[in-house]
Amino acid sequence: MRHVFLAGTACLALCAGAARAEESVEVLHWWTAGGEAAALNVLKEDLAAKGVAWKDMPVAGGSGVQAMTALRARVTAGDPPTAVQMLGFDIREWSEMGVLSNLDTLAGPAGWDKVVPQAIQAFSKYDGHWIAAPVNVHSTNWLWINKAALDKAGGKAPADMDAFFAMLDNFKAQGIVPLAHGGQPWQDGTLWEAVVLSRGGMDFYKKAVLEADPDALSGETMRQVFDDMTRLRGYFDNSFSGRDWNLSSAMVIEGKAGAQEMGDWAKGEFLRAGNVPDKDFVCIRFPGTQGNVLFNSDQFVMFEQKDAGLKDAQLKMAAAVMDPAFQIAFNKVKGSVPARTDVPDTDFDACGKKGMRDLAEAAANGTLAGSLAHGHGQPSSVKEAIFDVVTQQLNGQISTDEALKRLPQAVKAAM
Ligand code: BGC
């Protein structure tokens, strides 16, 4: 017989020390920033209340690059964690290896087919079977602006690249860092894909990034993108190199910087600092990209275990993740929007409501596409090949001409 558990934090404290008889999940994730950890707590507490203890395996590093390295080591050692946070193409790659648990017995009766958007299902299912439970939908083409700085700059949020550069010039004149950026490959890639979308529009993004068309990767629009990247770098501060994304968010929160381009997990940081949308900060689509959404969805996959008894806890976790009330509670804190389309936006703030509206609109208009930088545009080998070129060009190690030459080559070699 299974144990009956104390609910909430009491269980977390006690169950950590309690022994094996209890149900538990060991969860590998990269939610280590303040807003992320706060959102994760919603899940931990929810599971504790359902009698499932949480064994934490956090691996810091935005976009999960380091977490995926840690995962490979665990799987190679024959000891995979029970549950793992994962993005798009990584889910597909692990599915192909046949090591993920099938969630059909849960997903079928619960009707996931009807409530999860097709674009997400494309990654949650493999060979017609559910192998992942989507927690959320994030998107990357956002700009987070300090409201006081924007007011000083005239109060109008920029709708295109020209207006964006004008705003950054104004921030410079105010004596603050115009654009808070962290120089890490995935962050460079996140900025780059937003500029690609802005300059080329959705058709171009699809051609260049999703189809990896060599002409699109080396043509005039891409030249403009790299020229913009060089220009944007002129608005960073001197300590941008290697900085974590949440520290850049903090610069905007504290008014030391004017704006940050980042996915909507940044909102989690603003909220945690007590900031309120439209009062302390403004969220807009990256200039020139309104109407388009580059998405990524955090999903939990369950690894097949030697101990079959763990399956029940895995299914309990997957069920908890897909619960509509949980999707609201979690995503309000995380900055993302629900992965279910049947959840009302009532409880969400202005940015969350906008995120849900934009997502539905983009899905209906064919202007929704996977984010490259966050695992939904290309398999990780291609993603990393693009990051290499983008980072080197942004740091001035290679010229724009060289980047245009190398980009299609690097992508081809990685495919
Ligand atoms: C994940 C987010 C996370 C962000 C920064 C993204 O790839 O989807 O959940 O907050 O990386 O760590």
Q: Is residue 326 part of a domain?
A: yes
Q: How many whole angstroms from 64 Cα to the centroid of ligand 1? A: 7
- DSSP per residue, 151-192: HHTTSPPP-SHHHHHHHHHHHHHTTSEEE---BSHHHHHHHH
Based on the domain organization, do 252 and 399 belong to the same domain? yes
Q: Is residue 11 part of a domain?
A: no
Q: How many whole angstroms from 29 Cα to the centroid of ligand 1? A: 10
Q: How many whole angstroms from 41 Cα to the centroid of ligand 1? A: 16
Whether residue 245 contacts residue 187, with contact meaning beta carbons closer than 8 Å, is answered with: yes
Q: Give the tens place of pLDDT for each residue, 72-122.
A: 999 999 999 999 999 999 999 999 999 999 999 999 999 999 999 999 999
Based on the domain organization, do 303 and 393 belong to the same domain? no
CB of 296 sitting under 6 A from ligand 1: yes
Based on the domain organization, do 377 and 287 belong to the same domain? yes
Q: What pTM value is reported for the model?
A: 0.94
Q: How many whole angstroms from 173 Cα to the centroid of ligand 1? A: 32
CB of 138 sitting under 6 A from ligand 1: yes
What residues have CB less than 8 Å from 272, skipping those under 6 apart?
A: 34, 35, 38
Based on the domain organization, do 216 and 256 belong to the same domain? yes
Q: Does residue 214 register a pLDDT over 70?
A: yes
The CA distance from 207 to 216, in Å, is 7
In terms of Cα–Cα distance, which of 56, 45, 52 is closest to 2? 52
* DSSP label of 255: T
Q: What is the pLDDT of residue 366?
A: 97
Based on the domain organization, do 407 and 263 belong to the same domain? yes
Based on the domain organization, do 281 and 384 belong to the same domain? yes
CB of 64 sitting under 6 A from ligand 1: yes
| Per-residue confidence band for 7, with pLDDT thresholds at 50, 70 and 90 | very low
Based on the domain organization, do 134 and 146 belong to the same domain? no
The CA distance from 374 to 189, in Å, is 9
Type of residue at 348: F
Q: Does residue 61 register a pLDDT over 80?
A: yes
Pairing of strands 52-58, 23-29: parallel
Q: Give the tens place of pLDDT for each residue, 311-341.
A: 999 999 999 999 999 999 999 999 999 999 9
Q: How many whole angstroms from 170 Cα to the centroid of ligand 1? A: 30
Q: Give the tens place of pLDDT for each residue, 259-316.
A: 999 999 999 999 999 999 999 999 999 999 999 999 999 999 999 998 888 999 999 9
**Domain final residue pick, 323, 341, 363:** 363
Q: Ligand 1 atom 11: the closest Cα is on which residue?
A: 63
Distance of CA 51 to the CA centre of its chain: 29
Based on the domain organization, do 36 and 103 belong to the same domain? yes
Based on the domain organization, do 71 and 117 belong to the same domain? yes
Q: Is the dihedral of CA 270, 275, 278, 282 positive or negative?
A: negative
In terms of Cα–Cα distance, which of 235, 123, 120 is closest to 169? 235
Nearest-atom number in ligand 1 for the CA of 245 is 5
Q: Give the tens place of pLDDT for each residue, 114-133.
A: 999 999 999 999 999 999 99
CATH (domain of 286): 3.40.190.10
Question: Average pLDDT of 355-362?
Answer: 98
Q: Residue 332 is part of which domain span?
A: 24-138+295-363
Q: Is residue 49 part of a domain?
A: yes
The CA distance from 222 to 225, in Å, is 5
Please tell me the total count of domains within the chain.
2
Based on the domain organization, do 307 and 319 belong to the same domain? yes
Based on the domain organization, do 109 and 205 belong to the same domain? no
What residues have CB less than 8 Å from 90, skipping those under 6 apart?
A: 64, 68, 375, 380
CB of 265 sitting under 6 A from ligand 1: yes
Based on the domain organization, do 123 and 200 belong to the same domain? no
Pairing of strands 142-146, 257-261: antiparallel
First to last CA, the chain: 51
Q: Is residue 337 part of a domain?
A: yes
The CA distance from 369 to 119, in Å, is 8
* DSSP label of 303: B
Whether residue 54 contacts residue 47, with contact meaning beta carbons closer than 8 Å, is answered with: yes
